[in-house]
Structure 1
Amino acid sequence: MPQIIKAITQIIILFLISLCTNQIADYFNLRIPGTVLGIIVVFFLLETKLIRLEWIETGANWLVSNIMLFLIPSAVGVIQYKTMLSENGLSLIAVIVISSVVVMVFTGLFAQNIQSNKEKEKNT
């Protein structure tokens, strides 16, 4: 299967999982966002080997590599809240910086863990 078709198919699979978990979160009035629930579901499916990493890896890598394109509308939408930004700007900046650092650190640790697990599997 050509790489582009494979990636599109994988993105559709991830989108459908996200769509389903959003509907589940809405239907059951869960306090957890559907997107977070989707990540948990994908993790569970991968860990239980119900889906293989190869089935979603190319599409997921493309989504992660282009994540900034998906965040631009959110950043532009913040401009509508000028009064909130002027009143609480420093607090918001602190929260953004701290949470970004935490996410980067844990993402790096998680990626290193995955890489070392892949290397261990290759050696065994």
Structure 2
Amino acid sequence: MKKWLTILLNISLIIAFTWIGKGIVAITHIPIPGSIIGMVLLFFGLQSGWIKLSWVEAGAALLISEMLLFFIPAVVGFMQYSWMFGIKGLVILFIVVSGTALMMISTGVISEKILARKSGEVRRWFPRYFI
């Protein structure tokens, strides 16, 4: 019971930051979603030490583990507009695959540069397996 109460309080804190972000957007009319502003505020709170990781860790872990439930509306939308994916499906597939590949390559290159800098090695911009 104590575990579930802790998780509920963790999720409540995460939701509070989302509401704070939405309030900031309502007041300032920034063209960024309030939930994003709230998560950025939570991130800076964690980085600065104002908020301890233990205050949100269990709740965030539960939300991430149950993330599939949050995508059910997207699946329903896909089923409702399946004709659009039939017509433009190849274009969407190309965009998704190329975007994923670009992100994987850029993440790998940046990670290698960071690791090389930490270890003191001097490496070329592209790893050997690209040349």
Superposition TM-score, scaled by structure 2 size: 0.67
Deviation at 1:23, TM superposition (A): 2.9
Following superposition, the deviation at residue 28 of structure 1 comes to 2.2
TM-superposed deviation, 1:85: 1.8
Larger Rg: 2
1:59 counterpart letter in structure 2: G
For this pair of structures, how many residues does the alignment match?
107
Gaps of 5+ in 2: 108-131
Using the TM superposition, give the Cα deviation of residue 76 of structure 1 relative to its aligned residue in structure 2, in angstroms: 1.2
| 2:52 aligned partner | 52
Which of the pair has the greater relative contact order for Cα pairs under 8 Å at 6+ separation? 1
Aligned to 2:112: none
Distance 1:84 1:100 in 2: 22
Residues in 1 aligned to 2:29 and 2:47: alpha-carbon distance in whole angstroms: 26
Alpha-carbon distance change, 44 to 32 in structure 1, aligned in 2, over 3 angstroms: same
Deviation at residue 32 of structure 1 after TM alignment: 1.7
State the TM-score, normalizing by the size of structure 1.
0.70
Which residue in 1 is equivalent to 2:125?
none
Aligned residue number for residue 8 of structure 2: 8
C-alpha RMSD of the superposition: 2.7
Report % sequence identity: 29
Aligned pairs for 1:1-124 within 5 A = 2-99=2-99, 102=103
1:81-105: CA deviation from partner (whole Å, max 9, x where unpaired): 23432332222233344556648x9
